[in-house]
């Protein structure tokens, strides 16, 4: 017992202060990209041609970057001769609608809270069944780490459960491979109504690096209605936590 108390005194408080305090994030974190269309030379396509997932499109008003497809690799930033695209350490990435993930002229629209009736159901207690629909285990690892003492997801009333019949919704990672499509559908049908669907990571949103491959379905919303999109490859645990808390109305 004395050894346990001594270890506890040495370790001190391990849980992060987020959301009451700003998160402490590494300087190397590649968060939400910033686009300066004024720096984009007319006719230049270097960034779009460099992107491995075709996340960047060009029109007369400058580049558009789809966060749902973006792998957050630095290739476009490195390739752009004028620095029109750069990655920031902005961790807030989650959106409620698929179209809100496209960066361009309009201001980025963060995820909105559920309506009042739904928040009364899920706002204080949300049970999620996590489904890895063919993921590489990157997003899965950053989801799992939310259960550690550092992030302590349970303090917000959010927990992962083993059975979809005990869940309020699904948290999906992976591009939804052909072999997982039926399993995902059956899992969704087993969750009692009303229910939520959360897509985490580029694969679950758009297929990620596997987009267009015949053995996968290019993300969860080709099969199910998605209530929250959390982009990244993989998203930082704070990014996932931020999205969940915004959905529940715990952050404005």
Furthest-apart CA atoms within the chain: distance in Å: 70
**What pLDDT is attached to residue 174?**
96
Task: Say how many CA atoms lie within 13 Å of 34 toward its Cβ.
Answer: 10
List of E strands, 142-222:
158-160, 169-173, 196-200
pLDDT value of residue 9? 75
134 near 178, Cβ under 8 Å?
no
Q: Which CATH number fits domain 116-247: 3.40.50.620, 3.40.50.12280, 1.10.357.10, 3.40.50.1820?
A: 3.40.50.12280
Helices in the chain by DSSP H: which ranges?
Answer: 2-11, 46-50, 75-79, 116-122, 138-144, 178-190, 202-206, 237-247
Mean pLDDT by 10 residues, the chain (252 residues): 77 84 93 91 88 90 91 94 93 97 90 93 93 96 95 96 97 97 97 96 96 93 96 97 96 84
Q: Encoding tokens for residue 111?
A: 């995820």
**What pLDDT shows up at residue 59?**
78
pLDDT at 32: 97
């Amino acid at each position: 017992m004395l050894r346990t108390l001594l270890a506890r005194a040495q370790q001190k408080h391990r849980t992060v202060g987020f959301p009451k305090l700003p998160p402490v994030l590494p300087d190397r974190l590649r968060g939400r990209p910033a686009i300066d269309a004024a720096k984009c030379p007319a006719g230049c396509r270097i960034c779009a041609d460099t992107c491995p997932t075709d996340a960047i499109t060009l029109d007369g008003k400058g580049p558009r970057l789809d966060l749902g497809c973006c792998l957050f690799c630095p290739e476009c930033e490195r390739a752009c001769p004028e620095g029109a695209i750069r990655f920031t350490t902005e961790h807030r990435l989650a959106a409620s609608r698929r179209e809100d993930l496209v960066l361009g002229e309009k201001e980025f629209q963060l995820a909105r809270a559920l309506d009042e009736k739904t928040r009364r159901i899920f706002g204080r207690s949300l049970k999620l069944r996590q489904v890895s629909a063919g993921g590489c285990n990157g997003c899965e690892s950053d989801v799992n780490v939310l259960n550690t003492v550092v992030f302590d997801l349970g303090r917000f009333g959010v927990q992962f459960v083993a059975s979809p019949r005990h869940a309020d919704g699904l948290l999906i990672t992976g591009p939804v491979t052909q072999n997982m499509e039926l399993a995902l559908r059956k899992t969704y049908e087993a969750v009692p109504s009303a229910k939520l669907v959360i897509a985490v990571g580029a694969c679950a949103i758009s297929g990620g690096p596997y987009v267009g491959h015949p053995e996968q379905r290019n993300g969860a919303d080709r099969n199910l209605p998605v209530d929250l999109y959390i982009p990244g490859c993989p998203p930082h645990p704070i990014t996932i936590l931020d999205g969940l808390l915004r959905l529940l109305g715990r952050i404005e």
